[in-house]
């Protein structure tokens, strides 16, 4: 590939004033400089647009629109007007380490790689570290090799093991699967990764490539998680039917009854987490992420609680 491919950074933002300057700084400080940044402002009313419009860098292209509420639609708008060979997504409240792009573009020297991602630090509204997401321990899932292996986690566990703040796509591969998935109002990341799992290899990078901010006003707290989960499952049902023969040839065995049973259990857990998130928003204290991060560090306790919930 070109020694200096153009990187298109795509962002859909809405009322990110408290965090957007940190995001801007992380892009402008990138050690790799051959990039363009397409920012779609989905109707911000808090002054976010004034900050973005004032960036004095010709590589930044800012577009304001009336509120649509469609994150996937906004990302596809950016995709339709960008020029890069590689695509990187960045939310308006997240940010990158300075060498993120420089480190990541090396993954695409392998022409079979369609998506690259890395480890991710979880931060709160004050920018304090509250957790860390590493790579999947199963190398087959992490690399999606053989092709389709990532579905063992994406389909069976409905697990978004990739953090969006760290992702980079090969543009041609993303276009081949129809761009970012716009279906049922789903966030564009999970369903797009499912489709890309049939397109080629993933390249996991064992270093921190992003900072994912979780706070009480972020999407992770404000969306209806149960409804989103149900939409994800419906998407997966359709995906499995549409790609039945491809999945069969790849050796992906589909046991519908087992899948549905597993999804019902995950829905129960999702319902509990959603209740805690809504109560957290009400009292202004995060009661969700600290316990989850604690349990992830103490696997025996996590297994014991799972047995209580799912006897």
- pLDDT digits over 50-79, tens only? 999 999 999 999 999 999 999 999 999 999
DSSP for residue 311: -
Residue 307's φ and ψ, nearest 5 degrees, are -65, -35
Which residues 6+ apart lie within 8 Å of 202 measured at CB? 113, 114, 115, 116, 117, 142, 143, 144, 145, 150, 196
Domain span at 195: 7-215
Domain membership of residue 220 (yes or no) is: no
User: 286 or 14: whose pLDDT is higher?
Assistant: 14
Task: Tell me 234's DSSP state.
Answer: H
**CATH number of the domain within which 199 lies:** 3.90.550.10
> pLDDT value at position 305?
47
pLDDT range class, residue 252, cuts 50, 70, 90: confident
Which pLDDT band, with edges at 50, 70 and 90, does 11 fall under? very high
* Residues 63 and 169 occupy one common structural domain: yes
- Please compute the mean of the pLDDT values over residues 250-279 and round it to a whole number: 80
pLDDT tens by residue, 79-131:
999 999 999 999 999 999 999 999 999 999 999 999 999 999 999 888 888 88
Does the pLDDT of residue 14 top 90, yes or no?
yes
Let me know: does 35 contact 42? Beta carbons within 8 Å: no
Answer yes or no: is pLDDT of 286 > 70: no
Closest CA to 88 of 238, 185, 209: 209
| 61-65, 150-154, 239-243, 267-271, range with the lowest pLDDT | 267-271
Same domain for 16 and 46?
Answer: yes
Q: Are residues 100 and 204 in the same domain?
A: yes
Please check whether residue 98 lies inside any domain of the structure.
yes
| Total-model pTM | 0.85
Mean pLDDT of 259-271: 85
Q: Which residues pair with 38 in a beta bridge?
A: 10, 61
Q: Is residue 31 part of a domain?
A: yes
Assess whether 41 and 77 both reside in one domain. Answer: yes
Residues 138 and 259 occupy one common structural domain: no
Choice between 78 and 3, residue whose per-residue pLDDT is larger: 78
Confidence of residue 311 (pLDDT cuts 50, 70, 90): very low
Residues 168 and 45 occupy one common structural domain: yes
Mean pLDDT of the chain: 87
Higher pLDDT, 250 or 302: 250
Domain final residue pick, 172, 189, 215: 215
Q: Are residues 49 and 121 in the same domain?
A: yes
List, in sequence order, every beta strand (DSSP E) within 112-163.
113-123, 129-133
Residue 2: CB atoms within 10 Å: 10
What phi and psi values does residue 88 have, to the nearest 5 degrees? Answer: -125, 130
Does any domain span residue 245?
Answer: yes
Asked whether residue 175 is domain-assigned, the answer is yes
With respect to residue 273, please indicate whether it lies within any of the assigned structural domains. Answer: yes
Residue 144: pLDDT band by 50, 70, 90 thresholds?
A: very high
Give pLDDT, residue 177: 96
Q: Looking at 215, 241, 260, which one is the last position of a domain?
A: 215
Q: Do residues 253 and 194 share a domain?
A: no
CB 74 within 8 A of CB 68: yes
Q: Same domain for 65 and 180? A: yes
Backbone phi and psi for residue 251, each to the nearest 5 degrees, phi listed first: 85, 15
Q: Same domain, yes or no, for 147 and 296?
A: no
CB 254, CB 151: distance < 8 Å: no
Q: Residue 221 falls within a domain, yes or no?
A: no
Residues 47 and 186 in one domain: yes
Quote the number of domains for the chain: 2
Q: Is residue 70 part of a domain?
A: yes
- Across the range 233-250, mean pLDDT stands at 92
* Residue finishing a domain among 185, 215, 245: 215
- Tell me, yes or no, whether 132 and 87 share the same domain: yes
């Amino acid at each position: 590939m070109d020694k200096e491919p153009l990187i298109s950074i795509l962002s859909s933002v809405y009322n990110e004033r408290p965090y957007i300057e940190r995001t801007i700084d992380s892009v402008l400080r990138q050690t790799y400089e051959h990039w363009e940044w397409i920012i779609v402002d989905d109707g911000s009313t808090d002054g976010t647009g004034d900050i973005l419009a004032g960036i004095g860098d010709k590589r930044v292209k800012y577009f304001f629109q009336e509120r649509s509420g469609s994150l996937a639609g906004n990302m596809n708008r950016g995709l339709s007007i960008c020029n890069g060979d590689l695509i990187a997504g960045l939310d308006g409240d997240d940010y990158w380490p300075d060498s993120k792009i420089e480190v990541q573009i090396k993954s695409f020297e392998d022409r079979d790689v369609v998506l690259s991602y890395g480890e991710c630090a979880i931060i709160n509204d004050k920018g304090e570290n509250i957790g860390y997401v590493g790579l999947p321990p199963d190398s087959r899932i992490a690399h999606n090799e053989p092709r389709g292996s990532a579905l063992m986690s994406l389909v069976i566990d409905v697990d978004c093991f990739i953090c969006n703040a760290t992702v980079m796509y090969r543009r041609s591969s993303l276009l081949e699967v129809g761009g970012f998935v716009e279906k049922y109002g789903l966030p564009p990341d999970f369903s797009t990764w499912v489709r890309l799992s049939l397109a080629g290899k993933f390249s996991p990078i064992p270093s921190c490539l992003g900072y994912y901010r979780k706070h009480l006003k972020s999407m992770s707290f404000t969306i209806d998680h149960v409804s989103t989960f149900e939409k994800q499952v419906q998407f997966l049902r359709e995906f499995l039917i549409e790609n039945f023969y491809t999945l069969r040839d790849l050796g992906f065995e589909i046991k519908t009854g087992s899948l549905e049973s597993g999804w019902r259990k995950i829905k129960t857990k999702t319902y509990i987490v959603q209740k805690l998130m809504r109560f957290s928003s009400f009292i202004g204290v995060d009661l969700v992420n600290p316990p989850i991060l604690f349990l992830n560090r103490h696997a025996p306790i996590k297994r014991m609680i799972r047995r209580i919930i799912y006897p």
